[in-house]
Structures are given as structure tokens and as C-alpha cells.
Structure 1
Amino acid sequence: MIKKVSLLVLVAALATSCVSKKVYNELESKFAALKKEQRQLSDKNHDLEKTKNKLEVDLKANQDELARIKAERDKLQNELATASTNLKTLTASYTALEKNSDKALQDNMQKNRELLAQLDAKEKALLAEQERLNKLQADLKERSQRVTDLENLISSKEESMRKLKETLSKALNSFEGKGLTVEQKNGKVYVSMENKLLFQTGSWAVGTEGKRAVVEVGKVLAQNPDISVLIEGHTDNDKIVGSIGGGIENNWDLSTKRATAIVNILAENKGINKQNLTAAGRGEFAPLMSNDSPEGKAKNRRIEIILTPKLDEISKMLNEL
């Protein structure tokens, strides 16, 4: 009983220790940077949506312009038909007027030349409008094809992520019910592993069962070299005090070390491009549930492997529109 009381006193004393001001500020800066990066990604997605909407508006405007030009062409064709009729009439008049005086004949000839010049001008204008219409039609077809190609590429990326999610689900089927989930949302695939599958309390050493799960993820990633991989470490809001965790300073430190431990296991697979791997510690600041219950804390203590398709090709196509 005395030993238990002494242990409680020691834990209470350790709980009163706190993180230094300098470390706290550094962690605040890192948290702000991560939030900024999240906003930038959100803004980029918003810009892509705006660009798509603008292209649709441009497409509608081009279609309206095409309809207007067709109407003008029809009008010019009608005018041409009228001018042709007038020419026939004038030709008949010219024949009749050959018997008139030289002056009257010259006047009629001049009038005929003017009408012929007008007819020639109308024909040239109609030809120019037809050429402009052809160019607009070609431009519209090219833009429409680019929009279609972009939509197909985006659809292809989504289908690839769906297949990736199915492949991961099959590969990790044996870990169902052990704190591992696979889901697809916002165009990404999330593999979430609770700490009960991976780590002991206060430790960043991956257990045997957890390592086996990470290795299975690595096998799938090795077959998908065009996927960016972000490994995020998450904790509950229990503070790191005293010597718990063997020198870990705080939850930021613990979450980062755990994320790095997962990266190191993935990096052992030679088929994975190391440039695609990123480790990040989120500490206690991105909980899934409230930390007011043991169940909520257990859900918040996790590793999330976030798989994102590379968007370089989509960005290039948007720049070419």
C-alpha cells in the first residue's frame, strides 16, 4: 500500500512538469505551417474548380458566337441571292438599253459596274466570314477536346484511387477488427492504424503485428510509384511528463517519431520511391473523437497513411487551356 501511495505521489509530481517556452513556440510554428499547407491545398482545389467552371462558361460563349456567325452567314447568303437577281435584271436592262443613246448606255454600264463591284465585295465578305466561322469551329473543337481530355484524366485518377483502395483493403483484410481501416475520400485514400496495433504506450517502436501491416501497405505502394505518401502521427491530449517514453519531450515529438518509424519500415521496400514519402507529427491537434473518454483517446492515438495521386499532368493540361 505504501509503495502505491509513493508511486501516485511521484506521478503527480511528474505531471506538474511542463514544456519549455521555446519548444512550445516551435511547435506552434510547425502547427501554423501545417495549417497553411492545408489551406494552400484547399485553395488549389478551389482554383481547379474555378478553372473548370470558367472553361464551361467559355464553351457556352463560343457556342453562342458560332450561332451568331451562322446567322450572319445566312443573311449574307440571302443578300448574295438578292444581288444575283438584281444582276440578272440589270443584264436584261442593259440589253434593252443598247438601243438608247451613248450617254444612257454609258450610265447603265457604270451602274452595272458598280453593282458588280458591290456583288464582288459581298462575295469577299461572305468568304471572310466563312473562314472566320471555320476557324471558330476548329478552335471550339480543340477546346472541347481539351476539356474532355481533362475530365477523362480526372476520372482516370479517381478510378485509380478506387482500385488502390480496393487493393489495400484486400491486402490488409487480415487486420480487420484490429484497429485498421481503409477509406477513400476527397480524391485520396486513407489507411488509419490505431496505436494498439502498432505501439506500446509512450513508445515509437513498432510491434511485430503492426510491422506486418505496414509491410503489406508497402507492397501495394511499390506497385503504385506515382502516388505521394504522407504518414501522419496522432496522439491523444495526455501530456508527456517526466521520463515517460524514454526522453520524449511532448506529444508533437512522440507523434513525429512514430510517423518516422512507419516511414523507415516503408523505406525498407526497395520498390518504393523514397522521394514520395513524407513523415509528419500532428500531436493531439487533429483528433477524430473527443478525448473525454478512454474510447475517444484510443481512437485519436493513431497513424494515418494518406495516399494522394500526383497532379502534375492535370496542372499542365489546365495551363494549356
Structure 2
Amino acid sequence: METERGRAWVPWLVTALVAVLAGLVLYLAHRNTTAADAAAVAAATRASEAEAAKLLLETKLASLEAERAKLSTEKDQLNTEKEQLSQTVQEQEAELSRLKATYEDLQDKMKKEIAEGAIRLTQNGGRIQVDLVDKVLFDSGDASISARGQEVLTRLGGVLSKVDDKLIQVSGHTDDSPPTQKLQATFPTNWELSVARAVNVVRFLQDKGGVPAKRMLAAGYGDTRPLAANASPQGRARNRRIELLLIPELAARRTTVLAKSTAAKPTAAKPAVLKKTKGGK
């Protein structure tokens, strides 16, 4: 009887053992699953970090490549600018050499008039300016070129005809005294007189001096650009002049536009039908 009672708890023990074993199995299975999940999460995190690092490196590489391309372009531009600058320097040196040769040739050909003060020769900023007082070229009050003026312009044309890289602007200037009543029928104002004289000089340099017409222009400024005060005979004499300005081709376009906008039209004068008269300008 006692034996049967002793055996009665065995099923309970077995059941308890089975329950414990089942719980242990479930616990171990859960622990293994959690560890595997953690490992998977860690692996995914490492993969994500590696991908981010890869993207960062690719971004930096692309930035460096863009910078390299930019520097390469800038290098090419600098090389191009260097070549252009070198070419510009060579052209300027050649221009200065031609300018010097022209200036010295003018000094030699016109040395008599320069010594007399009848011609002023100046050089500034790549330009050569030849100022001829009116009495060298014209009789008083006349726009026709005198015999002496023709001789002077012939020598001057011999130099200018060899200048093929400059525009030659010929401008007439007067003092502030109006033309005499006798002259007003032909030259109502100093505008007409200054233009007529400039036109006649251009025509002579073309016809007798061999200077190409396409390299010259004529302008008249009347009494608007004096060199000296008109209060004295000496000052008025300085203001009555013909200016020849030799302008490099690049600057010539601007000067041409300026001259056309400020000078009187040559057709306003009648220089070809004049007779030499005494008195007046």
C-alpha cells in the first residue's frame, strides 16, 4: 500500500521534468534566436556603415575629379592668355619700332620747318602728331594750298605713304576771328574754312603724295580747340593750324566716330574753286 502511494508521485515528477525540459528548450531556443537577430542587426549596421563610407568616398572622389578638371581648364586658359600676352607684347614691340622709324623719318624730312617752328612734331601714347601752322600751307584767308605748302606736303606725303598701319586724321583749326566780309560768301564761318583747308590737304596727299585715300579722313573744328589764348597775335597764329594725327588702327575706329560726330561736313565748303586772296585769315 505504501509502495503504491510512493509511486503515485512519479507521474507528477515526470510531468514536472518534462515541463522543465520544455521550458529549458524554449529558453535556449529563444536565446539562440535573440543572438542570431543581434548578429544580423550588427551585420546589417556594419554593411550600412560600409555603404555610407563608400558613398562618402565616391562623393569626395567626384569632388576631387571636378576640382582637377577645373584646375586643368584654368591651366589651359592661363596658357592661352600667356600666349596671347606674348603675342601682344611682340606686336607692341613691332608697333613701337615702326612708330620710332616713322617719327625719325618725319624729323629728317621736315627738319628745316621744325627748326623754323613752322612744324611741331610730337609723339605720345602710340600716336604721332604733326602740327603745321597755317602760313606754311596757305596764304592769308585762303584755303588753296600755296606753292610752299605743296612742296612741304610733297615731302610729308613721301613719309606718310609708307605708313600702312595707321589712320591719318587731318583736321583744320582757326582762331576766333570770323572770316572777313569778303570771304563770307565762300566761308560763312570758321567751320567752313577749317573744313575746306583740311579737305584740300587730304586731296593733295592723295593725288600728289601717294597716300591711300582709305587711310585718311578730313575734319574741321573751327575755333573750338585752341592751343593758346586768342588775346595776342602769337596766340592766334598758334591756333591757325593743320593737324595730322597718326592713329593706330585699333584706336582709329573710335576717333573716326568722334570726328564724324563733332566735325562739320566737308561738303559744306567749296575748296576747289578758290582764288588766292590777300587779307583775312
* TM-score for both structures, normalised by structure 2: 0.64
**Does 1:171 pair with 2:83?**
no
Q: How does 1:174-253 map to 2 (within 5 A)?
A: 174-176=112-114, 177-244=116-183, 247-253=186-192
Aligned residue pairs: how many? 215
**Does 1:263 pair with 2:202?**
yes
The answer as to whether partners of 2:154 and 2:209 remain within 8 angstroms in 1 is no
Q: Which has the higher contact order (CA 8 A, sep 6+)?
A: 2
Q: Structure 1 counterpart of 2:99, which letter?
A: M
**Larger gyration radius, structure 1 or structure 2:** 2
| 2:71 paired residue number | 133
1:197 and 1:301 mapped to 2: Cα distance? 11
Q: Structure 1 counterpart of 2:242, which letter?
A: I
1:234 and 1:267 mapped to 2: Cα distance? 21
2:213 and 2:232 mapped to 1: Cα distance? 38
How far has the Cα of 1:218 moved from its partner? 1.2
| 2:273 paired residue number | none
How far has the Cα of 1:223 moved from its partner? 0.9
1:281 and 1:117 mapped to 2: Cα distance? 75
The answer as to whether partners of 1:171 and 1:216 remain within 8 angstroms in 2 is yes
Q: How does 1:55-204 map to 2 (within 5 A)?
A: 110=47, 114=51, 115=53, 118-119=56-57, 122-150=60-88, 152-154=90-92, 156-176=94-114, 177-204=116-143
Structure 1 residues 308 and 117: alpha-carbon distance in aligned structure 2, compared to 1, 3 A threshold: closer
For residue 177 of structure 2, give the secondary structure of its aligned residue in structure 1.
coil
2:65 and 2:137 mapped to 1: Cα distance? 75
1:224 and 1:145 mapped to 2: Cα distance? 28
2:58 and 2:240 mapped to 1: Cα distance? 83
Task: Identify which of 265, 279, 283 aligns with 2:218.
Answer: 279
Structure 1 residues 294 and 313: alpha-carbon distance in aligned structure 2, compared to 1, 3 A threshold: closer
How far has the Cα of 1:105 moved from its partner? 10
2:164 and 2:171 mapped to 1: Cα distance? 20
Higher-helix-fraction structure: 1
Please list the CA deviations of residues 98-143 of structure 1 after superposition, one character each: whole Å capped at 9, or x if unmatched: xxxx969966984795456655554444333322322222223323
2:182 and 2:63 mapped to 1: Cα distance? 89
Structure 1 residue runs without a partner (length 5+):
1-101, 316-321
For residue 221 of structure 2, give the secondary structure of its aligned residue in structure 1.
strand
Q: Structure 2 counterpart of 1:134, which letter?
A: S
Q: Structure 1 counterpart of 2:124, which letter?
A: K
Structure 1 residues 109 and 281: alpha-carbon distance in aligned structure 2, compared to 1, 3 A threshold: closer
Structure 1 residues 273 and 197: alpha-carbon distance in aligned structure 2, compared to 1, 3 A threshold: same
1:212 and 1:302 mapped to 2: Cα distance? 17
For residue 190 of structure 1, give the secondary structure of its aligned residue in structure 2.
strand
Q: CA RMSD in A?
A: 3.3
How far has the Cα of 1:247 moved from its partner? 3.6
The answer as to whether partners of 1:203 and 1:245 remain within 8 angstroms in 2 is no
Structure 1 residues 293 and 314: alpha-carbon distance in aligned structure 2, compared to 1, 3 A threshold: closer
Q: Structure 1 counterpart of 2:187, which letter?
A: I
Structure 2 residue runs without a partner (length 5+):
1-38, 255-281
Percent identity, aligned pairs only, is 25
**Does 1:304 pair with 2:246?**
no
1:253 and 1:303 mapped to 2: Cα distance? 14
How far has the Cα of 1:154 moved from its partner? 4.7
1:253 and 1:165 mapped to 2: Cα distance? 31
